Structure 1
Amino acid sequence: MKKYFLGLLVMSMLTFWGCSKSFLDETPKGSLVPQNFYKTSNDLTIACSGIAYQMGACFSLVTPTYFGADDITAKRTGNKIVFSDYDVFVDNNTKASNARMSAYFWNPLYATIKQANALIANYKNAKEATIAQQNNAGGYAYFIRATCYFYLTRTFGNIPMPLLVSTDSLQNSTVESIYTQIVSDLKNAETMLPNHWTGNQQQNGIDILPTAGSAKAMLAEVYLTMAGWPLKQTDKYALAAQKAKEVIDNKASWGYDLLPNYGDLWQIGNKFNKEAIFACYYNNQAPNTGFYNGTEMGPPSLAPAEEGGWDDLFGEITFFKNFPEGPRKAATYQYQYFPNNNPALATDWEHDVQKHPYFLKYRDDVSYNWTTHKSNNWWGSATSYLLRYSNVLLTYAEAEAMSAGPDASAYAAVNLIRARAAGHLNDLQAGLSQTAFRDSVVAERGWEYAAEFGSRWYDLLRTETVAKVNSTRDAGEVPLTNQPDDANHAYYLSPIPITQ
């Protein structure tokens, strides 16, 4: 088996980016520094590999802020309190001291930005590379920087926005200026990234680095968010629809499409697939690989303790009950539980220890035993999807409806998703108002991306419905400590970590 691209030259990149000085106080005649490193196409490949490896650190773990949504919850005991604090909306002073938000979200995202800034500053210096190779590497760095800032500003609001390698003494930038930079970076990426990569940057015919199509799709997602809270720039709906339509109309250029079966997305054998527009890929089987070439998202992270899992998160009851039955729900949630990994003791979620449904997503791995539900490795290789072709369809449907009205093309886009979900889902009701159509698409996004890296949380923020969905919280959940407010946006944003 080939080593995946993320595993290439990781130790070189850790030395290059991770060390501030030599252990020995002598002249560094062979050091890798910008003046002597950015020369060849191989240097650019190494730099991209380092960024990809660091980016993987940002999406290989559960992030507490996502628990404010209604799709996931956590028990309020032990080390799960760091998740539960966000689930029950504790005070901001407590949140600011949340070590997991600092160590596993803020820090790795800014570390990735720093590496992207270095490549942006130096990619043109690789004179031994072709112009196309230079642009591809630069476009990748712009795309990654934009994506990191997109996650950071949606989570924290006003934040520092370093655009150079140095991050010292920076004041916070406004949300509006951050989005202006995100759009600029993605427009650069759109023109600089290739339609397809070559070599190890492709696996099984799938581009594992973002392409020009990825930049267009991410722009559509960004514009959709800008149209909602906090910016409420409603003119961006039309731009979101336009960008999404470009991807839909030209999907063959990048090989994008829906997988026929939703459950296939979560099979380890399909970790490279045509639905992934941008994802973080992991391979814990590669020899001599770094820590973040594996992911802690599965198998045990989302598994119940009685099966040897970690209980990091499980499903909220109201959301689960409202989730339409069918193949999509069956692929999203676990229906049978084997206490002590004994199939003879099989039970259902209402009789498990936490009395909550657990997720199947991320569970499949070479180390997972489906016969006993036993995880034989805490470290998995499941793909972390950040943008799928289904995103493009649903973004187009919502943005088109909000800019031009829910026309036939908007219905066609959302109905493709509903058809795949199958079960008792039919085409979306005809003749819906603009707002009713939008609400239906947002609900569809919730089911499609349940437990996927804050997708539901960020949708609730931009549509100003955090308090609304939490008002239907089931009595079986841990009671809320504080009440979010959709009018004054209380408890919408996370405080910047106190360590920063």
Structure 2
Amino acid sequence: MKLYIIAPLLLTLITSCSKDFLKEDPKSNLTPDNFYKTADDLNMAAIALYTQVNGAFNQSGGYATLWGGDDMTVARAGNKISYSDFDTYQATSSNDRMTNWWSYFYATIKSSNALIINYPKATAASEDDRNHAAGQAYFFRALSYFFLTRTWGEVPLITDNNVDYNRPKATPADIYALIVADLQKAETMLPDVWDGNKRQNGVDIPPTRGSAKALLANVYLTMAGWPLKQTDKYALAAAKAKEVIDNKTTWGYDLTTNYGDLWNKSGKFNHETVFGCYFNVNVSGWAWENYNMLTPNAYAPDDEGGWGDGYGEINFYKNFPPGPRKEATYQTVYFLNNKPENAVDWTKTQHKHPYFFKFRDDDAFNPVNHVNNNWIGSHTVPVIRYAEVLLTYAEAQAMSASPDASAYSAINRVRNRSGLINLTAGLSQTAFRDSVIAERGWEFAGAEPAGRWYDLIRTETVAKANSNRDASEEALKNVPNDATHTFYWAPIPIGDKQLNPNL
């Protein structure tokens, strides 16, 4: 991201501050009173948000909270134990992996709050400039709270930047109320299309009005399930997703022709990504958030010099329908010790599990011998995909009215792209919904932000899904309960609990 937007602006800022830097000058100290004045000020404040969001999605740490789903598992050894703790339902407040999301999302919220509070002061900027900056802040604050409450449940709801170590936890209902309000603002304040260096290869880098609508549709769908169970939100989810589908040409959204194109290094900019995080390993100097650490090492097998942060659960893999989607999702051939002459299938690997190939194909990956020449990459992380919009519509339409022709058309577009035939006609509401949930699981399997885990939570099927666990998997330390919702939410990080007695 920073190669396209942030780096030039930082260069401008450094140049403008270089004269007589030893002389004390209060105007050189950036404060809310003297910073939020011009369009450039707003642009720099908005750009800062991307550093935080990129940091949240560029490494495995936060994704560890999704390992409780039935699609991902990991060896319980070494530095993988913190991942395994979520997979086997024994995570504690001291878990070091989950703090990546907690810290980055709250940092995003803090930066968003500053922009939301101060953007009206930018009197030297145009109304469009003010709206576009604030629209990004509202979008990112909503996105951050959406991940926080789905992961941790009741969390502090902060809309100011005052230091307060006695903030109470807010209920999910209150958090969702703010998320909806923020996205309703974002969808009116964001543009349909960006220009200049905010648009690369015909793809918008920042969120657009379409991004806000797509996220709001998913929020409504989630509100219809556990814990709120506001079933009236199904209709709102369907209507909002339909807005995106009906106007997809406005924002340039569509499914890629081939599922595998999403994960090829040549597919960095694609029209299926409704909102994504963009990285560039060639940015000079070291900046953690510039680089994607999900690729190429994180999910590569140990047998090929990878880190093995996670791999596919066996029964989920076996139930995954064959076809081009499965072939692109999982690695099919493994070169032991990176020797092509030692080619085996997943059953002959060290951990005897199928590994995910998503994010593997990057500039640092050598397809000839599967050597990873770098531990960081430039792969795009799609936070929202158009496939999710279609599946959100299909489920929400079926649950708010009936599995009509439009609902079937939406799910069948995703199925057909994956090499599957049309879904069986005439299904009941419940059977159709279950088919969509299964489809989402296959479509977003592995370390994607549209995690399988969140679908299991909202449909109250965590225990049910994990009951189909191969005997060779690591045994569950605790067993989740779909009636009492035990182990549905991650524990609050110990550092914040020690600071705030109300957590």
Report TM bin, short chain: over 0.9
Aligned to 1:369: 366
User: Does the 8 Å contact 1:80/1:312 carry over to 2?
Assistant: yes
Aligned to 1:87: 87
1:7 Cα deviation from its structure 2 partner: 4.3
Describe how 1:136-285 pairs up with structure 2 within 5 A. 136-169=132-165, 170-285=167-282
1:480 aligns with 2:491: no
Amino acid at match of 1:362: F
Amino acid at match of 1:118: A
1:460 Cα deviation from its structure 2 partner: 0.3
Q: Tell me which of 14, 29, 33 is aligned to 1:35.
A: 33
Q: Kindly tell me: are residues 360 and 7 of structure 1, through their superposed partners in 2, closer, same or farther at Cα, counting changes over 3 Å?
A: farther
User: Does the 8 Å contact 2:293/2:375 carry over to 1?
Assistant: yes
User: Does the 8 Å contact 1:66/1:454 carry over to 2?
Assistant: no
Q: Tell me which of 329, 333, 336 is aligned to 1:332.
A: 329
User: Does the 8 Å contact 1:11/1:290 carry over to 2?
Assistant: no
Query: 2: distance between equivalents of 1:230 and 1:8?
Result: 44
Aligned to 2:55: 57
1:211 Cα deviation from its structure 2 partner: 0.4
Query: 2: distance between equivalents of 1:357 and 1:45?
Result: 44
User: Does the 8 Å contact 2:52/2:107 carry over to 1?
Assistant: yes
1:110 aligns with 2:106: yes
Q: Kindly tell me: are residues 217 and 304 of structure 1, through their superposed partners in 2, closer, same or farther at Cα, counting changes over 3 Å?
A: same
User: Does the 8 Å contact 1:6/1:53 carry over to 2?
Assistant: no
1:158 Cα deviation from its structure 2 partner: 0.7
1:3 Cα deviation from its structure 2 partner: 2.8
1:375 Cα deviation from its structure 2 partner: 0.7
Equivalent pairs, count: 486
1:359 aligns with 2:321: no
SS in 2 for 1:138: helix
Deviations 1:263-293 (A, max 9, x none): 0001122111111111111111122352111
Query: 1: distance between equivalents of 2:451 and 2:242?
Result: 21
Q: Kindly tell me: are residues 8 and 357 of structure 1, through their superposed partners in 2, closer, same or farther at Cα, counting changes over 3 Å?
A: farther
**% identical aligned pairs:** 56
1:401 Cα deviation from its structure 2 partner: 0.2
SS in 2 for 1:460: helix
SS in 2 for 1:301: coil
Query: 1: distance between equivalents of 2:336 and 2:374?
Result: 18
Query: 2: distance between equivalents of 1:7 and 1:406?
Result: 49
Q: Kindly tell me: are residues 7 and 448 of structure 1, through their superposed partners in 2, closer, same or farther at Cα, counting changes over 3 Å?
A: farther
383-392 vs 162-171, greater mean Cα deviation: 162-171
Aligned to 1:45: 43
1:11 Cα deviation from its structure 2 partner: 8.5
Q: Find runs of 4+ consecutive structure 1 residues off by over 3 angstroms.
A: 6-14, 24-29
User: Does the 8 Å contact 1:66/1:453 carry over to 2?
Assistant: no
1:432 aligns with 2:427: yes
User: Does the 8 Å contact 1:229/1:462 carry over to 2?
Assistant: yes
Query: 1: distance between equivalents of 2:199 and 2:221?
Result: 29
Q: Kindly tell me: are residues 113 and 181 of structure 1, through their superposed partners in 2, closer, same or farther at Cα, counting changes over 3 Å?
A: same
Query: 2: distance between equivalents of 1:75 and 1:146?
Result: 34
1:448 aligns with 2:443: yes
Deviations 1:438-493 (A, max 9, x none): 00000000000001135100000000000001000011210100100101101101
1:4 Cα deviation from its structure 2 partner: 2.0
Q: Kindly tell me: are residues 354 and 454 of structure 1, through their superposed partners in 2, closer, same or farther at Cα, counting changes over 3 Å?
A: farther
345-354 vs 285-294, greater mean Cα deviation: 285-294
Q: Kindly tell me: are residues 355 and 12 of structure 1, through their superposed partners in 2, closer, same or farther at Cα, counting changes over 3 Å?
A: farther
Amino acid at match of 1:60: N
52-61 vs 430-439, greater mean Cα deviation: 52-61
Query: 2: distance between equivalents of 1:13 and 1:168?
Result: 32
1:304 aligns with 2:301: yes
Aligned to 1:314: 311
User: Does the 8 Å contact 2:2/2:290 carry over to 1?
Assistant: no
SS in 1 for 2:98: helix
SS in 2 for 1:68: coil
SS in 2 for 1:265: helix
Query: 2: distance between equivalents of 1:51 and 1:394?
Result: 29
Deviations 1:111-152 (A, max 9, x none): 111001111111122222110111001000000000000000
Q: Kindly tell me: are residues 347 and 189 of structure 1, through their superposed partners in 2, closer, same or farther at Cα, counting changes over 3 Å?
A: same
1:10 Cα deviation from its structure 2 partner: 5.7
- Gaps spanning 5+ residues in structure 1: where? 15-23
Aligned to 1:293: 290
SS in 2 for 1:277: strand
SS in 2 for 1:278: strand
1:13 Cα deviation from its structure 2 partner: 9.4
1:471 aligns with 2:442: no
Query: 2: distance between equivalents of 1:454 and 1:218?
Result: 11
Amino acid at match of 2:30: L
SS in 1 for 2:383: strand
User: Does the 8 Å contact 2:27/2:34 carry over to 1?
Assistant: no
Deviations 1:324-364 (A, max 9, x none): 00000000000101111110111110000000000110011
User: Does the 8 Å contact 2:383/2:450 carry over to 1?
Assistant: no
- Gaps spanning 5+ residues in structure 2: where? 15-21, 497-503
Q: TM-score, normalised by structure 1?
A: 0.94
Query: 1: distance between equivalents of 2:349 and 2:6?
Result: 38
1:5 Cα deviation from its structure 2 partner: 2.3
User: Does the 8 Å contact 1:44/1:134 carry over to 2?
Assistant: yes
User: Does the 8 Å contact 1:158/1:172 carry over to 2?
Assistant: yes
Describe how 1:60-75 pairs up with structure 2 within 5 A. 60-62=58-60, 63-75=63-75
Deviations 1:186-230 (A, max 9, x none): 000010000011111111110011100111100100000000000
SS in 1 for 2:108: helix
SS in 1 for 2:382: strand
Query: 2: distance between equivalents of 1:78 and 1:52?
Result: 32
